């Protein structure tokens, strides 16, 4: 097995660039939406066969065990080629959680199919009346013989239409004195009888999430991850991973690359007022990349992420929105055009980053909630 960490960054970048260019389908480059499983399955399997599907996972679980610097190289090459985001929650979220909290049997059962592309995961946290106040969730799991029986509903479940499995937060003790104490973290098969889905269309016209209904859905007793009624702690750890993923410079950089093309093509960098705003975003992006690298390093050292990772999420998504807004301004009268828009020698999707940046301050815990976390748990500001 190749030790990718032993290569120089330049040699590794060359390998990654060549492999991506030779294998990633041309028609899936720079799509203004997430990839559906049916269209990216072959690409997922190609990466899997190469041993590259889980750059951050340790080698013993089928990952690359890649250093943070080289993970950034992969990320940069992914962006450069316009490779879309796959349904990747198995790799980026639940896999890490099973490694940390799951039993050996759960690790054996669930980790290899993620690497092999046999299981596609979605996240069942939010409910119609429990979003920011997630701990108020009401979907229940009641023990019946060797099974748990689940009833209730989850909403905004990204890519659930493509998922084979869901990791879900359920109420297992309705009488717990604190609402956080009666919640458990479970795994379930999306093909189990009693699950129905209602896809939801977003403002850009794409169906990327759904409401999921559970009517006496059974999952086996060994689907419980960690201790009974201690799922809140696991959920918080997993949200830390999610905030790290959302905090990656990838999306703001995507928007900035488009801003740069439009600004150059329209000669806007000659305008000092515009150049000032452009330079500010460029510097903010450099700050974000540096901060992100620090957190990735922390994860690689096996350290838990603290509440301060919320700062990364806030900064990344607000920068994404600010950049996509300046892109629209720069595009001027062409800003309202959907799809690829021509600017002299460049063709740029100006509206897509704007649409994609809008929900960024909501998902993964809204930015207002992240600010509350920073105020309370990082700055220890007095609470009313
Ligand atoms: C694109 C997208 C994908 C998503 N994917 C998933 C997924 O895969 N799985 C999943 O479980 N969920 C998912 N979500 C749901 C997401 O986590 C929730 O939307 C989010 O937590 C906010 O909850 P809510 O929508 O119920 O809004 P609410 O909680 O009703 O909040 C409404 C507004 O009030 C503000 N607010 C609420 N409480 C406070 C407070 N205490 N202080 C200050 N301001 C407050 C919020 O910031 C927000 O602006 C997704 C959401 C989006 C937009």
Protein residue with least CA distance to atom 31, ligand 1 = 132
Protein residue with least CA distance to atom 48, ligand 1 = 366
Q: Residue 314, class by beta-carbon neighbours within 10 Å (0-12 exposed, 13-18 middle, 19+ buried)?
A: buried
Q: Are residues 241 and 92 in contact, defined by beta-carbon separation less than 8 angstroms?
A: yes
- What's the chain's average pLDDT? 93
Confidence of residue 76 (pLDDT cuts 50, 70, 90): confident
The mean pLDDT value for 35-40 works out to 96
Confidence of residue 69 (pLDDT cuts 50, 70, 90): confident
pLDDT at 342: 93
Q: Answer yes or no: is the C-beta of 164 below 6 A from any ligand 1 atom.
A: no
Q: Answer yes or no: is the C-beta of 323 below 6 A from any ligand 1 atom.
A: no
Q: Answer yes or no: is the C-beta of 363 below 6 A from any ligand 1 atom.
A: yes
Q: How far apart are the first and last CA of the chain?
A: 56
Q: Answer yes or no: is the C-beta of 93 below 6 A from any ligand 1 atom.
A: no
List, as one string, the DSSP characters of 267-306.
Answer: TGGGSHHHHHHHHHHHHHHHHHHHHHHHHHHHHHTTPPP-
pLDDT at 7: 95
242 is catalytic: yes
SS3 state at 7: coil
Ligand 1 center to 151 CA (angstroms): 22
Please state the φ and ψ torsions of residue 285, each to the nearest 5 degrees.
-65, -40
Ligand 1 center to 365 CA (angstroms): 6
SS3 state at 334: helix
pLDDT at 75: 81
The mean pLDDT value for 32-53 works out to 95
Give the helix/strand (H/E) hosting 178.
none
pLDDT at 323: 98
For the entire predicted model, the pTM comes to 0.91
Q: Answer yes or no: is the C-beta of 99 below 6 A from any ligand 1 atom.
A: no
Q: Ligand 1: which atom is nearest the Cα of residue 372?
A: 42
Ligand 1 center to 158 CA (angstroms): 13
Cα separation, 377 vs 237, whole angstroms: 15
pLDDT for residue 79 is more than 80: no
Ligand 1 center to 232 CA (angstroms): 17
Confidence of residue 10 (pLDDT cuts 50, 70, 90): very high
Ligand 1 center to 211 CA (angstroms): 14
Percent of the chain beyond pLDDT 70? 99
Q: Could you report the per-residue pLDDT of 118-165, keeping only the tens digit for each?
A: 999 999 999 999 999 999 999 999 999 999 999 999 999 999 999 999
Q: What residue spans of the chain are helical by DSSP H? A: 9-23, 37-50, 68-80, 89, 95-101, 104-115, 231-246, 250-265, 272-300, 309-331, 351-357, 367-373
The residue to mutate among 90, 94, 132, 185, having the most atoms of ligand 1 within 8 angstroms of its beta carbon, is 132
pLDDT for residue 208 is more than 80: yes
pLDDT at 270: 97
pLDDT at 67: 83
pLDDT for residue 360 is more than 80: yes
The residue to mutate among 190, 201, 362, having the most atoms of ligand 1 within 8 angstroms of its beta carbon, is 362
Q: Answer yes or no: is the C-beta of 365 below 6 A from any ligand 1 atom.
A: yes
Q: Answer yes or no: is the C-beta of 214 below 6 A from any ligand 1 atom.
A: no
Residue from 77, 127, 242, 260 carrying the catalytic annotation:
242
pLDDT for residue 301 is more than 80: no
pLDDT at 148: 98
Q: Are residues 235 and 169 in contact, defined by beta-carbon separation less than 8 angstroms?
A: yes
pLDDT at 2: 81
The mean pLDDT value for 290-307 works out to 83
pLDDT for residue 384 is more than 90: no
Q: Answer yes or no: is the C-beta of 81 below 6 A from any ligand 1 atom.
A: no
Protein residue with least CA distance to atom 17, ligand 1 = 363
Q: Which residue has the tokens 């309370």?
A: 376
Confidence of residue 346 (pLDDT cuts 50, 70, 90): confident
pLDDT at 34: 87
Dihedral of the CA atoms 262, 266, 267, 268 (nearest 10)?
Answer: -70
Protein residue with least CA distance to atom 5, ligand 1 = 158
Percent of the chain beyond pLDDT 90? 77
Q: Answer yes or no: is the C-beta of 368 below 6 A from any ligand 1 atom.
A: yes
The mean pLDDT value for 293-315 works out to 86
The mean pLDDT value for 281-309 works out to 88
């Amino acid at each position: 097995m190749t030790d990718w960490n032993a290569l120089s960054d330049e040699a590794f970048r060359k390998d990654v660039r060549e492999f991506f260019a030779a294998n990633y389908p041309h028609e899936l480059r720079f799509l203004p939406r997430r990839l559906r499983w049916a269209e990216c399955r072959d690409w997922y399997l190609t990466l899997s066969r190469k041993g590259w599907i889980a750059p951050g996972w340790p080698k013993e679980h089928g990952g690359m065990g890649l250093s943070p610097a080289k993970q950034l190289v992969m990320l940069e090459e992914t962006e450069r080629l316009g490779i879309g985001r796959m349904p990747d929650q198995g790799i980026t979220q639940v896999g890490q959680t099973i490694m940390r909290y799951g039993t050996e049997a759960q690790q054996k059962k669930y980790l290899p199919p993620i690497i092999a592309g046999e299981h596609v995961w979605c996240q069942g946290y939010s409910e119609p009346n429990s979003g920011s106040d997630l701990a108020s969730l009401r979907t229940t799991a009641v023990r019946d013989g060797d099974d748990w029986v689940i009833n209730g509903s989850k909403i905004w479940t990204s890519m659930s239409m493509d998922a084979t499995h869901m990791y879900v937060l359920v109420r297992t003790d309705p009488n717990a004195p604190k609402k956080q104490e009666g919640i458990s973290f479970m795994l379930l098969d999306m093909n189990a009888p009693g699950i129905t889905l209602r896809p939801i269309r977003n403002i850009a016209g794409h169906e990327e999430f759904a409401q999921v209904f559970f009517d006496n859905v059974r999952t086996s007793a060994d689907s419980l991850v960690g201790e009974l009624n201690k799922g809140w702690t696991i959920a918080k750890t997993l949200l830390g991973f999610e905030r790290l993923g959302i905090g990656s410079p990838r999306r703001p950089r995507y928007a900035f690359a488009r801003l740069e093309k439009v600004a150059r093509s329209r000669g806007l960098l000659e305008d000092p007022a515009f150049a000032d705003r452009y330079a500010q975003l460029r510097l903010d992006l450099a700050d974000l990349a540096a901060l992100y690298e620090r957190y990735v390093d922390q994860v690689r050292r096996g350290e838990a992420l603290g509440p301060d990772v919320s700062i990364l999420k806030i900064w990344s998504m607000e920068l994404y929105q600010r950049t996509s807004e300046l892109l629209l301004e720069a595009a001027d009268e062409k800003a309202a055009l959907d799809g690829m828009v021509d600017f002299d020698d460049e063709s740029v999707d100006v509206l897509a980053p704007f649409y994609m940046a809008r929900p960024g301050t909501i998902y993964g815990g809204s930015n207002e909630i992240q600010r509350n976390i920073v105020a309370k748990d990082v700055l220890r500001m007095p609470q009313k």
